[in-house]
Amino acid sequence: MEAMKMKEFGFGKSDVELLNSNQTRGIKYSIWWEDSIKDSLVCAKIKCFEIWKSGKEDEDSKVVQQSYLFNFELREGKMFSKLMEETYLSNQHHVSGEAYAEIVNHSERFVFIAEWFDPNASLFRRYELLFYPGDGSVEMHDVKNHRTFLKRTKYEDLHLEDLFIGNKVNIFSRQLVLLDYGDQYTARQLGSKKEKTLALIKPDAVSKAGEIIEIINKAGFTLTKLKMMTLSRKEATDFHIDHQSRPFLNELIQFITSGPIIAMEILRDDAVCEWKRLLGPANSGLARTDAPESIRALFGTDGIKNAAHGPDSFACAAREMELFFPSSGVCGPANTAKFTNCTTCCIVKPHAVSEGLLGKILMTIRDAGFEISAMQMFNMDRINVEEFYEVYKGVVSEYNEMVTEMYSGPCVAMEIQQTNPTMTFREFCGPADPIVKIVGDQLTKHRKLPDIYALEPSEQSLVKLRSRMLFTVRICQRMVY
């Protein structure tokens, strides 16, 4: 097999030795599959990449790129483009900046192990998902059958910030769960940058959740989980385990259990330190002096009622997130949904969440006099979405677009309270087409994808609310935390 491939590409072991010894003058190279030269490549996912030098010794040499772009790491962990740069410099040849930039942009790729549930076969299928940030293209390989599932194709709806372990992404209508990094390079490059921490909005600042979430978005965080909840005394004691010997422990517990809180998992590089910086000093009075733009300075009152909380370390963040978002699959602390005749359901759609509009939408709803009595972020699969939108099937022409949008990413479900809330809140939202009118005229650019969804007026509104909101047990069991 190895000899055949070498013959096919006109490449021998001596060429590999020349490559590794940085003697590249006048040599034409081809790189092939992993099993050809295992001792030189960690992995390879392409058929052929050719790069050669042209020009005389007294002229600037040029790098020419042809055929498939390379996608692999070398034994010492260097990308091939970096090695070639060092090679040419060591031989006193020059690579034009434009040519080198093109190579770097197109060569970098990130690999993830992803899983997709095949509803026809009723089984989970695993793929290797490759993302090329240079041109936004994707590629997929079937792990079990060792074959290409999707050739490299541009896909505008996937972005680098969407790629982190545990997230759900949609590739051409397939909802993939990212399970793990696919290679060491991806783990090194993204693993250290995608740090998670807990952001907790305390009872005194729940009414300011929109402003706080807006600050979080502007600071470069990605909101990956969110739930409004209430804590029992035992849960509050477990949460404040580090303050067991403090004289103000009872005061802390009484305050944290006095009303609803909003727990969030937020993501970015150096997330723990950056979130602590946004919070400011624990005492809100001191924060107003030392960090007047911090969250505690803006929304806190004192050392106990200080608006929000953040863990002090990565280990502490992991422990606290396990309390609020258990990895075991249980629901964690109780939600705050009331399910009364004075409530209705509101869904902030995935495109609005991904565009960072959640904070603005929460502020707009609050300023209009509505109360958000429950809230949670979750992902829906296609089956759930079709059930959710079943009354629109065959009725509206945008049905397929509505379904695709709703499971394209995380959405936020809210329970809205007010007298005669269904009719009033629908009027507040306005027509489904934002070109006609919508509460968020200035918040959305999508003609057929308004930012929020509210229930139709109906005698069955309470039944619909119960069946459609995340807070029902059936949907909770399908969530991926």
pLDDT at 456: 53
| pLDDT on residue 164 | 86
Instruction: Return all residues near 426 (Cβ < 8 A) that are at least 6 apart.
Output: 454, 455, 456, 457
Pair 343, 463: CB distance under 8 Å: no
CA distances from 278 to 179, 240, 287 (A): 30, 21, 11
Q: What is the pLDDT, as a whole number, of residue 396?
A: 86
CATH fold of 110-191: PH-domain like (2.30.29)
Listed in sequence order, the residues at least 6 apart from 423 whose beta carbon sits closer than 8 Å to its beta carbon are 457
CB 426 within 8 A of CB 418: no
How is 257-304 classified by DSSP, letter by letter?
A: TSS-EEEEEEEETTHHHHHHHHH--SSHHHHHHH-TTSHHHHH--SSS
CA distance 297 to 428: 33
Q: 58: which residues sit within 8 A by CB, 6+ positions away?
A: none
DSSP state of 357: -
Residue 459: count of CB within 10 angstroms of its CB: 6
pLDDT at 16: 40
Relative to beta strand 174-181, strand 222-230 is unpaired
Q: Find the distance separating the first CA and the last CA of the chain, reported in whole Å.
A: 45
How far apart CA 106 and CA 43 sit, in angstroms, is: 17
Does the annotation mark 309 as catalytic? yes
List every span in the chain annotated with CATH 2.30.29.170: 110-191
What pLDDT is recorded for position 192?
67
Q: Which of 93, 309, 351, 446 is catalytic?
A: 309
Say what the pLDDT of residue 162 is.
Answer: 86
Tokens representing 320 are 């606290």
Q: C-alpha angle 125/130/136, rounded to 5°?
A: 130
What is 337-476's CATH superfamily? Nucleoside diphosphate kinase-like domain (3.30.70.141)
Look at residue 450 in the predicted model and tell me its pLDDT. Answer: 56
pLDDT given for residue 413 in this prediction: 92
Q: How many residues does the chain have?
A: 481
Render each residue's pLDDT in the chain as its tens digit; 481 residues. Answer: 333 333 333 334 444 443 444 333 333 333 333 333 333 333 333 333 333 333 333 333 333 333 333 333 333 333 344 444 333 333 333 333 444 344 444 568 899 999 998 888 888 999 999 999 888 899 999 999 889 999 999 998 888 888 888 888 989 888 899 999 998 888 888 876 678 999 999 999 999 999 999 999 999 999 999 999 999 999 999 998 888 878 888 999 999 999 999 999 999 888 999 999 999 999 999 999 999 999 999 999 998 899 999 999 888 999 999 999 998 767 789 999 888 878 888 899 998 998 899 999 999 999 888 999 999 998 888 888 888 888 888 888 889 888 988 888 899 999 998 766 555 888 888 777 665 444 444 454 443 345 666 655 443 444 444 444 433 333 333 333 3
- CATH 3.30.70.141 domain position(s) in the chain: 195-317, 337-476
Predicted TM-score (pTM) of this structure: 0.67
Q: Does domain 195-317 have CATH number 3.30.2350.10?
A: no
